[in-house]
């Protein structure tokens, strides 16, 4: 339980400090809040492909930060 709490705290810090505001918005909406991709694409006036790319880059940054 302690390790899980530490991991969640580290993830929150990484989301707040490593991601750009746009990456944060997309990551939180898709990965944490389960907003459907099509709905988010419409809200942000963008495409599914652009959101996939943003999410991929956000995850890549988070992975790199959490591996340290």
pLDDT at 13: 95
Q: Could you list the pLDDT tens digit for every one of the 68 residues in the chain?
A: 888 899 889 999 999 999 999 999 999 999 999 999 999 999 999 999 999 999 999 999 999 999 86
pLDDT at 1: 82
pLDDT at 68: 64
CB proximity list for 43: less than 8 A, separation 6 or greater = none
Joined tokens for residue 26: 């997309």
pTM score over 0.75: yes
Angle at 46 between CA 53 and CA 62, to 5 degrees: 30
Report d(CA 23, CA 27) in Å as an integer: 6
pLDDT at 65: 93
């Amino acid at each position: 339980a302690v390790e899980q709490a530490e991991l969640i705290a580290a993830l929150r810090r990484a989301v707040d400090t490593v991601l750009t505001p746009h990456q944060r918005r997309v990551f939180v909406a898709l990965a944490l809040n389960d907003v459907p991709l099509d709905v988010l694409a419409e809200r942000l006036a963008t495409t599914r492909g652009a959101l996939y790319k943003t999410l991929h880059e956000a995850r890549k940054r988070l992975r790199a930060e959490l591996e340290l």
